[in-house]
Amino acid sequence: MDNGDTTDDNIIPNNAKSISSNKTSNLINKKKIEGLIRQILIELGENPDREGLIDTPRRMASMYEEIFGGYKMDSELEVSFSEETDTIIAKDIQFYSMCEHHMLPFYGKVHIAYIPNGKVFGISKLVRLVEKYSKRMQIQERLTKEIADEMMKMDVKGVIVIAEGEHLCMKMRGVRNDSTMVTITHRGILEKKEMKESILALIYDRHYGNMRHL
Asked whether residue 149 is domain-assigned, the answer is yes
Residues 6+ apart with CB under 8 A from 185: 144, 145, 147, 148, 160, 161, 213, 214
Mean pLDDT in residue range 137-158: 96
Task: Give residue-wise pLDDT tens across range 164-178.
Answer: 999 998 888 877 778
Q: Are 45 and 102 found together in one domain?
A: no
**Side chain identity, residue 142:** R
For residue 1, is it within any domain?
A: no
The band of 161, judged by pLDDT with boundaries at 50, 70 and 90, is very high
Helix (H) or strand (E) holding 178: none
Q: What's 50's domain CATH number? A: 1.10.286.10
Whole-number pLDDT of residue 8: 41
Threshold 0.75, pTM exceeds: yes
pLDDT per residue as tens digits for the range 35-91:
999 999 999 999 999 999 999 999 999 999 999 999 888 756 565 566 666 889 999
List of residues 6+ apart from 213 with CB closer than 8 A: 184, 185, 186
| pLDDT of 178 | 80
Residue 104's alpha-carbon distances to 8, 97, 108, in angstroms, are 37, 8, 14
Cα 190 to Cα 188: distance, rounded to the nearest angstrom: 5
Percent pLDDT > 90 in the chain is: 59
Q: Is the pLDDT reported for residue 212 higher than 90? A: no
For residue 190, what are the contacts with CB-CB under 8 A and spacing of at least 6? 113, 114, 115, 157, 158, 159, 160, 196, 199
Mean predicted lDDT score pLDDT of the chain? 84
| Structural domain total, the chain | 2
Q: What is the mean pLDDT of residues 188-204?
A: 90
* 47 and 128 co-located in one domain: no
Range of the domain at 94: 8-20+77-213
- Tell me the C-alpha distance between 52 and 23, whole Å: 28
